[in-house]
Amino acid sequence: MIFAGIDIGSITAKAAFIKNDKLMATKVIPTGYNPITAGEKVFSALLEQTGIDPRDIRAIVATGYGRNSVKFANRAMTEIICHGKGAHFLDPRIRGIIDVGGQDSKAIALDRTGQVENFAMNDKCAAGTGRFLEVMAKALEVKLEDLGTISLGSRAPSKISSICTVFAESEVISMIAGQQKREDIIAGIHESTAARVAGLVTKVKLEAPIIMTGGVAKNQGMIKALENRLGIEILVGDYPQENGAIGAAVIASRIHLQKI
Amino acid sequence: MTDTDKKKDKRKIRAAKKMREIMTTYYLDAMTARENNKKVAWITSGGPVEPLIAMDIIPVYPENHGAMIGASKMGEELCIKAEEMGYSQDLCSYARTDIACCKVNGGPMGGLPQPDMLICCNNICGTVLKWYEVQARHFNVPLFILDTPICHTDYSREVESYVRRQMDEYIIFLETAVDKKFDHDKMAEVGRLAFQGQKLWQKVLKTTTHKPSPMSAFDAFFFLALIVTLRGTQIAVDFYEELSLEMEERIQTDISIIPHEKYRLLWDNLPVWYQLKWLSQKFSDHNACLVADTYTSAWCSALKYIDENNFLDSMAQAYTRIHLNIGVDQMADQVLDMIRTYDVDGFVMHSNRSCKPYSFGQMDIMNIVRKKTGIPVVMLEADMVDPRSFSLSQTDTRIDAFMEIIKQKEWVR
Amino acid sequence: MKEINPFHAAINDPGGLAAGIKKRSGKILGYMCSYAPEELIHAAGFHPMRLFSSKSDICLAQNHLQAYCCSLVRGVLEDSLAGRLDYLEGMVFPHTCDSIQRLSDIWRLNTKFNFFADVVMPTKLNTKSARTYMTDVLKKFKTDLEKAAEHSITQNDLQNSISLFNRIRRDLSRIYELKSQFPSIIKGTDLFAIIKGSMIMDREELAQRLETIVLLLEKKDPPPYSGKRIILAGSICDMQDIYKLIEASGGSVVADDLCTGNRWFEGSMPENIDPIEALTARYADRAICPAKHSGNTTRGENLLALADTHKVDGVIFATLKFCDPHAFDYPYMKEFLEKSSIKNLHLELDDQQQGLGQLSTRLETFIHMI
């Protein structure tokens, strides 16, 4: 039996299929302007990739900020629960998830059975999210995906203390004017973002092993900054971006089996 | 009328109509005070109103007005106006909207009746002090400050004697303001009515211990207005008598406020006035009822300190030891007590940008509650009046996730 | 001037300074508000140390205070939770604003120092009953200190403290006077170091050093000054760069209305009356903080008087973001200044911020403009 999960995030839309309790395939596309079409697009792209007939999909769960716009889903669940299910499904040892996405960052604590025990999210302001990194990348005229690699070359990270994106951007601009090294500024940005995210982690008292999910998990500089800050190893699985969609597919199978 | 409409109609609380009428009359009286040779005092929501009633001075509450502005979604525009006047966006939105209203005669009533005097009690925050100073300069009227030192851990003799002395100064202030002797017999009578009113308010709030609950915190937010504005009058006593009877009747006939109450929640902090409808629908969709809140219960939480037969002397303590003027650990104790009394499944905290003394310390309360009860807690970031500090999609996700965690307890793994 | 070096050393490493004091003379009590009765703390044999944020990343404090809490309050809590204030014997909280009020609770519930005291001073200062209450509170605090110190505080101890603090205040006032008279006599950053250092250094040592500095300054023959004369007004100003930038742009701070400045040290205590009464008189009558009340326009009038006395060209308001008491007063104080045609600029700062960033453009332009 095949089940599908669809995760509509602010930047990318993800889909995942599971078959007989095994991950089958995943797909990531940009969300674009319209979350409704993004859901349809990513779903049909994955159908095409796997050659599966939509009639063979027994249940679909949608998640992410656009979860309610996926009209063909049987149910919508928040990404918090889905990330929990996804991480547990892929690696049952996981007890903590750090998810840094475009709009939100979250820390999610799981119990031994993969149930969410507690979670914390950033407040309305953008500091500590992918969006913050995007603003900073723009100010530095660096590609978002290059931030990680560049920062690894830093010997002395700059210090950015402002909690507010606007204040921090102003700090960064004066650092550029002060001719500080680009890699140091970027490493500083990672450290300040890591401090914000670490706050969420301590808030819910995450226990090891901790996995990082979301688009920002691909940024090696961020992982390093977080590990330094927390003094703990952070795992990155094979599917950091698709983790929520995988969890949604898992939930779809549970719903189908009347376990929820 | 369809069947669902009839059912919905049955769920409506009848007393709401009466309450609206009483509030309309009250505001009309206040608006026409000058023509009727009456004086108007603006007073903070936690301030001692009883001496005003005893002196036949009409109390007007800018905070109640702020709530009306918020509920009628006029907050944003007025907040922006205040910011144009130089008041920072980070200041209390009640204060900002009130200050702006005085300039532009805005809001749902085109502004409040002008005050003849201002009564500010800082038992709720330090913000009211600054806000009332602004208004004292604007209207150029006398300002009385009742300074109620915070009781972090205890209520000391020094505090008691300081606040008690100020009650006498308050009376002298009023005598001077209206040029009339204070009537102690009348004060005793007003005190008794205030006590009765608060007792009845408490009784109304306690009816929600019944499952399913006959009303919710959203109703309490609405019915609160009278115990704030008309405390110490027969009108308030009669109204809450009627409301409590209606609640009893709903319990007898099994009428619940939400169709399928399955989960019971506790709310902390002020309401998000401009999203009441959305929030109540949101929780109701999850079959969750906000059965109680820490905010509306503040108007009866000091009952234990009031001496019905010696109101004036017990006022110092009753006004100093309110929910916001105590330490965070004591606030947590009150929350734990409510969690037990109302048998709730989850705790919803509104982190309110406008209200620092209510919101700072919430995270510690959250941890205490988690540790001692194990119930899920969620924190919603918002503001009571300024919608710019509220994100619908973010709040939506948080509530859904919170409810999923509550529900997941029932899932077979 | 090399005599100022110890002040720079102190403010650059308050932790090191505290360790030294702890080793030499014993126990340190921290505080964050200029209404903390330092004289009493000192008379009990403790070292009163004002706390500033070390401006480290806010991480642990995030679990206790939301992002809309001011950076000073969050910063000091962070330092405490991260163990950077372990040199403290304890903490004193005179009631200040809503944020510090809750910080006191959070501190009490989450830290493990030996000593903790809420000294809930009145908010209202201009009535007889408020003064009586203040006296009661000071007496109670004295008893708490005696318990912690395990000895009583004699009248003599208190008198000595009062005269020591009077000396410190007199000399600081004299340095300010000289700065106003001859703005080029001492650099703004040096003045900043002296003031900030005075709030953390050993007070006996401080009194000596200040005396020396006054003598040296009085002997100086500074060149005439033709730059702009500026008042810095606001809450705390823990940013040396502001002084530097003002001078680089052709101005000088000749007076201030700051909690870390004039409001903290101005005035002296009568030495011939009961010491607790003297303390009450001082704390009730000093230049007022916006979190306190003493009339509706007192602060505006004080600022105008200050501007008049020091013949200033402009006023710079430097306030911390999320500081309510100052944000409420700003519009009317600005209006007061404008009625008297005094130019002014408002800088909203984040205490955690490193350097002024884009604000520097505004500051420079303002000074050129006036």
Segments making up each domain of chain A, as ranges: 2-88+241-256, 94-236
Percent over 70 (pLDDT), chain B: 97
Any chain C CB within 8 A of the CB of B357?
A: yes
The predicted pLDDT at position B36 comes to: 93
Q: What is the pLDDT of residue A126?
A: 61
The per-residue pLDDT for range A139-148, each reduced to its tens digit, is 888 888 899 9
pLDDT value of position A161 = 66
Which of B370, B400, B412 is opposite residue A259, by nearest beta carbon? B412
A81·B405 Cβ contact <8 A:
yes
pLDDT at B334 over 80: yes
Cross-chain Cβ contact B397/A79 below 8 Å? yes
Average pLDDT over residues A91-95: 96
pLDDT in tens, B64-85: 999 999 999 999 999 999 999 9
Residue A133 is predicted with a pLDDT of 87
pLDDT at site A26: 96
- Cβ contacts of C353 on chain A, cutoff 8 Å: 161-162, 167, 171
In tens, the pLDDT along B45-54 reads 999 999 999 9
Amino acid symbol at A149: T
pLDDT tens string A38-67: 999 999 999 999 999 999 999 999 999 889
User: What is the C-alpha to C-alpha distance for residues C89 and C84, in angstroms, rounded to an integer?
Assistant: 13
* pLDDT at residue B408 greater than cutoff 80: yes
Helix (H, G, I), strand (E, B) or coil at C355: coil
C71 interfaces chain A, CB cutoff of 8 Å = yes
CA–CA distance, C75 with C52 (Å, rounded to integer): 8
Weakest-pLDDT range from A185-194, A238-247, B173-182 = A185-194
pLDDT greater than 90 at residue A114: no
| C86 — pLDDT class (breaks 50, 70, 90) | very high
Determine the pLDDT at residue B3. 63
Look at residue A166 and tell me whether its pLDDT is greater than 70.
no
Task: Please check the confidence at residue C358 and state whether its pLDDT lies above 70.
Answer: no
Which CATH entry fits the domain spanning C2-156: 3.40.50.11890, 3.30.450.40, 2.20.25.10, 3.40.50.720? Answer: 3.40.50.11890
Q: What is the mean pLDDT of residues A166-174?
A: 75
pLDDT of residue B412: 37
- Where residue B380 falls among pLDDT bands split at 50, 70, 90? very high
How confident is the model over B289-307, as a mean pLDDT? 94
Task: Please give the distance of CA C235 from its chain centroid, rounded to a whole number.
Answer: 8
> Does position C354 have pLDDT exceeding 70, yes or no?
no
Judge: B150–C120 Cβ closer than 8 Å, yes or no: yes
Q: What percent of chain B has pLDDT over 90?
A: 90
Assigned domain for B1 exists: no
Mean per-residue pLDDT, B381-397: 91
- Tell which of B394, B402, B409 to mutate to test the A interface (max A CBs under 10 Å): B394
pLDDT score of A162: 65
Q: Angle B184-206/B234-252 helices, nearest 10 degrees?
A: 20
pTM of the model: 0.90
Residues C222-247: what's their mean pLDDT?
93
CB contact under 8 A, C123 and B145: yes
pLDDT confidence band for A127 (50 / 70 / 90): low
- Shortest CA distance to B227 belongs to which of B267, B266, B200? B200
Q: Is residue B390, in this structure, part of any structural domain at all?
A: yes
Average pLDDT, chain B: 94
**B362 neighbourhood in chain C, CB within 8 Å:** 66
Long-range contacts: B17-24, Cβ < 8 Å, 24+? B18/B239, B18/B242, B19/B222, B19/B223, B19/B225, B19/B226, B19/B239, B19/B243, B22/B226, B22/B230, B22/B235, B22/B239, B23/B225, B23/B226, B23/B229
Q: A163 pLDDT exceeds 70? A: no
Report the pLDDT value the prediction gives residue A260, as an integer from 0 to 100: 52
Homologous superfamily, domain A94-236: ATPase, nucleotide binding domain (3.30.420.40)
| pLDDT for residue C360 is more than 90 | no
Quick one: pLDDT band at residue C207, thresholds 50, 70, 90?
A: very high
pLDDT bin (cut points 50, 70, 90) of residue B413 is very low
Among the four given CATH numbers 3.40.50.620, 3.30.420.40, 1.10.540.10, 3.40.50.150, the one describing domain A2-88+241-256: 3.30.420.40
Question: Percent of chain A scored above 70 by pLDDT?
Answer: 94
The Cα angle at residue B241 between residues B239 and B245, in degrees rounded to 5: 115
Model pLDDT, residue C227: 95
Mean of pLDDT over chain C: 95
Residue A125 has pLDDT above 80, yes or no: no
Distance between CA B262 and CA B264 in Å, rounded?
Answer: 7
Q: Which of B398, B401, B413 sits opposite A113 (nearest CB)?
A: B413
Domain count for chain B: 1
> What's residue C357's pLDDT?
67
On the question of a common fold for A2-88+241-256 and A94-236, the answer reads yes
ipTM, two decimals, is: 0.96
Residue A169 confidence (pLDDT) above 80: no
**What's the confidence (pLDDT) of residue A164?**
65
> For C97-132, b where at least 16 C-beta lie within 10 A, e where not — what string?
bbbbbbbbbbbbbbbebebbbbbbbbbbbbbebbbb
Contact C63 B87 (CB under 8 A): no
